[in-house]
Structure 1
Amino acid sequence: MRAENWGGTLQRWLGVVALTSACVLASGCHDELHVKVKTGGWVTGKWHGETEEGARVFLGIPYAKPPVGELRFQPPQPAERWQGALDASEFGASCMQNPGALSAVGDLSEDCLTLNVFSPESPAKGSLPVMVFIHGGAFVAGGSNQYDGWRLAEEYGAVVVSMNYRLGALGFLSHPELDQEMMASQSGNMGLKDQQLALNWVQQNIRAFGGDPDRVTLFGESAGSMSTCVHMVAPGSQELADQFILESGVCVGGLPVNTKEQSDGIAEAMLQTFCADAPDRLACLRDVPAADLMAWGADAGIFGAGWSPTVVPESEILPAQPVQLIASGQYNMGPVIVGTNRNEWGLFQLIGAGETVSDIAGFNQLVDATYPAPLAGAIKVVYAPASDQQANYKLVELLTDQVFRCPTRGFARLLQAAGSNVWLYSFDHLPAYHAMELPYVFGNPSATLAPVLNEPVREAVQGYWSGFAYNGTPNQEALPEWPQYDAVSDQNMSLAEVSSVQQGLAQTTCDFWSSLGI
């Protein structure tokens, strides 16, 4: 900061401190950094960076009561009102999780149900599009403090909201004893209920930050994208968002949606580990340290013990499999952007969560060990490496297709057949691993994912995403026209240094998986 600006900035901050007390007492008092939340009270934010202009940042706002003690494993309860002004200048603690490559940094706590708002300077009240982001992390890791929405707010004029939600056993425990305690078969999916409550918070409070609750784009990546997909079909979420962006994850294949029986079985195994002989097993489990619950089953791979969205009949989250709800028209038919990255599985190899191979023999051996014999034989034909040098590349292609790309194509086809407007993309800026589009979505370099941003790619991604938030279509004059998806051509936007429309996305390999009913 230039020296001549320091005095004015100090005076500005001192003025905000004084206003914090004065505004609480004054009727109708308003300041850019001092906002009244209907469901809580006054919050005092900060400017992004050191200037008095640009994005306003409000961090760590509670949207639910701390889910601790008797509220552990229970549906979230709206936050209580607070006295005075809430200091919203720092992120709240992230939800409990194990350390790892996908994990959030900083403090962890069970008391983690907070959200963050990034808003342009002095917006016209209630007029701006709202972009609500759900973070990824396989439902066992991640946090909202990993994502900074300032650039979408300052340069593109959106109000950006991010949230924390319960993870692992704390967010997805499903068991008959818990159903009995709730007096209904409704256990499981508490992390998704957290997200739903945060979306309700947006509906009630976002006008105070300049956002329009009738122009909400819900978007997410990986597990956050799968969550976004769930909210498209969840009966309790139908009025909470208007359009959707899904990055590298859908809820109709690839990533697992559990049956109630599967999730109940996972919880029973946990109960047997910690509380097998306890007279009140749920009371016992509520006394187990949260870190021990999160560590249980963490050696089972990238998806942990199997914590995942669960089909719970007659629930407000997933009363049936998403594919059934979409096919029968029981979903939010708002416009959708959906896509994947060219080499998704490369990230999991990079962080040691996926095997690598060095030659054709290793590729064939891994396929034989992973798939049943008839399928393994077909896979070795369809994905046959032409040389040892191509073996690992073909393995990445195989797992990218199976887990991400081909389910996403199937999702786009399902939505189009049901009558939705869909735009399909492929993020092709190499190496294009899983999550590598995120620095371009938010416009912030990442030490691990993109230390230096390619400006044409950033301009395309942020332009399309923000244009979609404003208009319900990604198209705008400054960028190549992005046509709507159709299943005949599988046309998609290739997001790269020179973005362009492509046809037949992964047609041969995805047709192969489709022929198997997968």
Structure 2
Amino acid sequence: MILDKSAARTFTFHHAELGSLTGLVTPDNVVQFRAVPYATIPARFKRSILLGSLPESDGAYTEHGYACPQTFPLREADGGPFPGDPVEPASDEFECLLLQLNIPLAILHTPSTAKLPVLVYIHGGGFVLGKIDEQHSTALMVEQSILDTQPIISASIQYRVGALGYLQTPEPGNANLALNDQRNALRWIQKFIGGFGGDKQRVTVFGESAGSMSICAHMLSPPPTEGPLFQRAVLMSGIIGPATVPVPIEVAEQRYEAFLAKLGIEERGDAGLQKLREVDIDTLVAASTALGDEGGLWLPVQDREWFGEDAASVTWDRIPELIGKCEWVKDIVLGCTSFEGTTMMSRYAGITPSAFLSSIKTQLGAHSAEIISRAYAITPTMDQNLFFTPLLRWVGDAIFDAPTHMLAQYLSTKTTKNVYRYIFDVRNPFPNHALYQQPHHWVDIYFVFKAHQFRFPSQRLKDISTRHAQLWINFTHGKTPWGEYKYTGKGDEVLMVVDEREGWVERSAERVERDLEWGWGRCEELVSAWQEGGMKGEWWSCLELECLSGVKKT
């Protein structure tokens, strides 16, 4: 990290196809090329176009670029902006398709015929947030790889979010804009990474939450004509499930109508789209945020151009089977934090146990309500405070844990893929954070990049963070990160667990469940309740409950 900008060093490299590029040396043995454009956006709500060269400029890629316009969250809870990060991020809807490259200085200084494996980060953010910044920089991971004498090249990509990336308009050929942005970034890496010393045949992608779900969407889609875009995947707290499955076209069309209404646009069809393209960007982002706050997610669409002729069959229960058919990804790391649902505390605080069970009964029927009541030990008259823990468990399971468990079960028993599963049980280390001392959703993002280490209060946490980066680097190099997960249902499955007491340690599923005082059996019962409730093969959202009406979902 560059703390004193006046002390920053630069390095100019000549790429055979892209010409001369000047990057920032940060840290001392890594060159970071910032805000490299990978595609252009011809118009709002139009599919991006892959760039075959860099635009004419002075070749300097030393400054952060524009983020996609969004409602930026306050970052004071984890200490505020990092040194080098702007207090108010600049944004531009047409100049935001950027990537960042972090490359060992030595390989640029003295090119080698031996190519390095590549690790690509796809950010999360609930499909409405996210950007490249110092807090999510992979530069320190590259530095770590050099220190461990197994160097890698890394990249981070930006894409359109919110309505700009996920609104389905009546215009043909422009669905799933955000996914197409990501694909173009991955195609750019395939096309040009060799010139930086990278091996396009050894690309590992990793993402958290919406970033991980996006990786799943890529695995559900046929690769482009030039071939597969990655060979290994790390899926952190984000497998597509009944809360996040791609929506049917007719539902996306209803969402489009609601968006027009939110902006006060009376025209429909092409006229309505033209009006949308004329709306001030700040007004459009505010409407995008408001529609999400009212209870809907901006999600991919069951579009045939992306998901194929059987796009309508991409339902929540078939995701494991369909990912299992992705022949070009053989090795997958997947896992969750140990209490995903705590991020929903403030939004779900007013729900009562009786209202929850009644809503489940209305949605899934009496039998499924009984299954969920038993699995989570919820009774209609239980103490409200006691109820809140299983409610948050249910929320976390519904969105994250159950889809992850389903995928791990299927891939490890029905396919030849190598599956490595983990549980992240480290608590939030920032005292001014609302989720301080909780192992909540996204807390692992504070650790994997090593970027937050200067804010950690103990060496123990720093060591955990360093090991996190090392394990992902090992996996990028094609190594086995830890014991393979093979589901048996007997509790003898091997997982990697990380906590503040012992760091990263392999454990049996039985031991994990005993130590944490919960079991994945509740996830299996939850899935059973969904199936028994008639939702198998159907598109639906498990969060669409009467008691959650009007509650922001994530």
TM-score range, shorter chain: 0.7 to 0.9
Runs of 5+ consecutive residues of structure 1 not aligned to the other structure: 17-31, 180-185, 476-481
| Aligned pairs (5 A) from 1:420-435 | 420-430=417-427, 431-435=438-442
Q: Which residue of structure 2 aligns with residue 381 of structure 1?
A: 374
Instruction: Count residues in correspondence.
Output: 467
Q: Which residue of structure 2 aligns with residue 150 of structure 1?
A: 139
Moved more, 409-418 or 272-281: 272-281
For residues 288 and 385 of structure 2, the distance between their equivalents in structure 1, rounded to whole angstroms, comes to: 35
For residues 37 and 77 of structure 1, the distance between their equivalents in structure 2, rounded to whole angstroms, comes to: 22
| Aligned pairs (5 A) from 1:365-404 | 365=354, 367-368=356-357, 370-373=359-362, 374=366, 375-384=368-377, 390-404=386-400
Q: Which residue of structure 1 aligns with residue 48 of structure 2?
A: 76
Change (3 A) 1:293 1:162: same
Change (3 A) 1:102 1:84: closer
Structure 2 residue matching 1:109: 3-state secondary structure: coil
Change (3 A) 1:172 1:380: same
Cα offsets for 1:413-445 (capped at 9, x unmatched): 222213211111111113210111112211121
For residues 219 and 474 of structure 1, the distance between their equivalents in structure 2, rounded to whole angstroms, comes to: 14
For residues 383 and 292 of structure 1, the distance between their equivalents in structure 2, rounded to whole angstroms, comes to: 42
Q: Which residue of structure 1 aligns with residue 334 of structure 2?
A: 338
Structure 2 residue 32 is the aligned partner of structure 1 residue 57: yes
Change (3 A) 1:253 1:339: farther
Q: What one-letter code is carried by the residue in structure 2 that aligns with 1:256?
A: V
Question: How much does 1:55 deviate?
Answer: 1.6
Q: Is the Cα–Cα contact under 8 Å of residues 419 and 484 in structure 2 kept in the other structure?
A: no
Change (3 A) 1:514 1:95: same
RMSD over aligned Cα atoms: 3.2
Structure 2 residue 411 is the aligned partner of structure 1 residue 415: yes
| Aligned pairs (5 A) from 1:20-419 | 33-36=12-15, 38=17, 40-49=18-27, 53-65=28-40, 67=41, 71-79=43-51, 81-100=54-73, 106-110=89-93, 111-123=95-107, 124-125=111-112, 127-145=115-133, 146-156=135-145, 157-175=151-169, 177-179=170-172, 186-236=173-223, 239-272=228-261, 273-277=263-267, 280-300=271-291, 305-315=296-306, 320=311, 321=314, 324=318, 327=321, 330-331=325-326, 332-349=328-345, 352=346, 354-356=347-349, 363-365=352-354, 367-368=356-357, 370-373=359-362, 374=366, 375-384=368-377, 390-416=386-412, 417-419=414-416
Q: Is the Cα–Cα contact under 8 Å of residues 216 and 242 in structure 1 kept in the other structure?
A: yes
Cα offsets for 1:333-365 (capped at 9, x unmatched): 32000111111121233xx4x3236xxxx6514
Q: Is the Cα–Cα contact under 8 Å of residues 369 and 529 in structure 2 kept in the other structure?
A: no
Structure 2 residue matching 1:465: 3-state secondary structure: helix
Structure 2 residue 445 is the aligned partner of structure 1 residue 438: yes
Query: Which of 527, 533, 539 does residue 514 from structure 1 map onto?
Result: 527
Q: What one-letter code is carried by the residue in structure 2 that aligns with 1:502?
A: S
Q: What one-letter code is carried by the residue in structure 2 that aligns with 1:433?
A: H
For residues 464 and 24 of structure 2, the distance between their equivalents in structure 1, rounded to whole angstroms, comes to: 29
For residues 469 and 73 of structure 2, the distance between their equivalents in structure 1, rounded to whole angstroms, comes to: 28
Structure 2 residue matching 1:220: 3-state secondary structure: strand
Question: How much does 1:300 deviate?
Answer: 4.8
Question: How much does 1:161 deviate?
Answer: 0.5
TM-score when scaled to structure 2? 0.76
Structure 2 residue 480 is the aligned partner of structure 1 residue 473: yes
Question: How much does 1:47 deviate?
Answer: 0.9
Structure 2 residue 487 is the aligned partner of structure 1 residue 486: yes
Q: What one-letter code is carried by the residue in structure 2 that aligns with 1:116?
A: Q
Q: What one-letter code is carried by the residue in structure 2 that aligns with 1:55?
A: V
Q: Is the Cα–Cα contact under 8 Å of residues 119 and 154 in structure 1 kept in the other structure?
A: no
Q: Which residue of structure 2 aligns with residue 495 of structure 1?
A: 498
Cα offsets for 1:472-506 (capped at 9, x unmatched): 5214xxxxxx3333343453211223223131563
Structure 2 residue matching 1:407: 3-state secondary structure: helix
Q: What one-letter code is carried by the residue in structure 1 that aligns with 2:465?
A: R
For residues 243 and 195 of structure 2, the distance between their equivalents in structure 1, rounded to whole angstroms, comes to: 39
Q: Is the Cα–Cα contact under 8 Å of residues 271 and 285 in structure 1 kept in the other structure?
A: yes
Q: What one-letter code is carried by the residue in structure 2 that aligns with 1:131?
A: L
Change (3 A) 1:319 1:438: farther
Change (3 A) 1:171 1:319: farther
Question: How much does 1:236 deviate?
Answer: 2.9
Identity %: 26
Cα offsets for 1:230-273 (capped at 9, x unmatched): 11121135610010000011124442321122112111222344
Change (3 A) 1:75 1:242: same
Q: Is the Cα–Cα contact under 8 Å of residues 249 and 404 in structure 1 kept in the other structure?
A: yes
For residues 473 and 285 of structure 1, the distance between their equivalents in structure 2, rounded to whole angstroms, comes to: 49
Structure 1 residue matching 2:477: 3-state secondary structure: helix
Q: Is the Cα–Cα contact under 8 Å of residues 298 and 305 in structure 1 kept in the other structure?
A: no
Structure 2 residue matching 1:187: 3-state secondary structure: coil
For residues 303 and 231 of structure 1, the distance between their equivalents in structure 2, rounded to whole angstroms, comes to: 28
Question: How much does 1:392 deviate?
Answer: 3.0
Q: What one-letter code is carried by the residue in structure 2 that aligns with 1:63?
A: Y
Between 1 and 2, higher relative CO (CA 8 Å, sep ≥ 6) is seen in 2
Change (3 A) 1:59 1:369: farther
For residues 189 and 423 of structure 2, the distance between their equivalents in structure 1, rounded to whole angstroms, comes to: 30
Q: What one-letter code is carried by the residue in structure 2 that aligns with 1:343?
A: F
For residues 129 and 16 of structure 2, the distance between their equivalents in structure 1, rounded to whole angstroms, comes to: 29
Q: Is the Cα–Cα contact under 8 Å of residues 450 and 469 in structure 2 kept in the other structure?
A: yes
Cα offsets for 1:134-188 (capped at 9, x unmatched): 101111111122411111101112211101101111111213x311xxxxxx332
Structure 1 residue matching 2:348: 3-state secondary structure: coil
Q: What one-letter code is carried by the residue in structure 1 that aligns with 2:30?
A: A
For residues 240 and 309 of structure 1, the distance between their equivalents in structure 2, rounded to whole angstroms, comes to: 19
Change (3 A) 1:406 1:316: closer
For residues 107 and 451 of structure 1, the distance between their equivalents in structure 2, rounded to whole angstroms, comes to: 31
Change (3 A) 1:401 1:413: same
Cα offsets for 1:92-119 (capped at 9, x unmatched): 1110111335899511210200100112
For residues 498 and 422 of structure 2, the distance between their equivalents in structure 1, rounded to whole angstroms, comes to: 7
Q: What one-letter code is carried by the residue in structure 2 that aligns with 1:277?
A: E
Runs of 5+ consecutive residues of structure 2 not aligned to the other structure: 82-87, 146-150, 428-437, 514-518, 532-554
Q: Which residue of structure 1 aligns with residue 535 of structure 2?
A: none
Structure 1 residue matching 2:127: 3-state secondary structure: coil
Question: How much does 1:406 deviate?
Answer: 1.1
TM-score when scaled to structure 1? 0.81
Q: Is the Cα–Cα contact under 8 Å of residues 353 and 387 in structure 2 kept in the other structure?
A: no
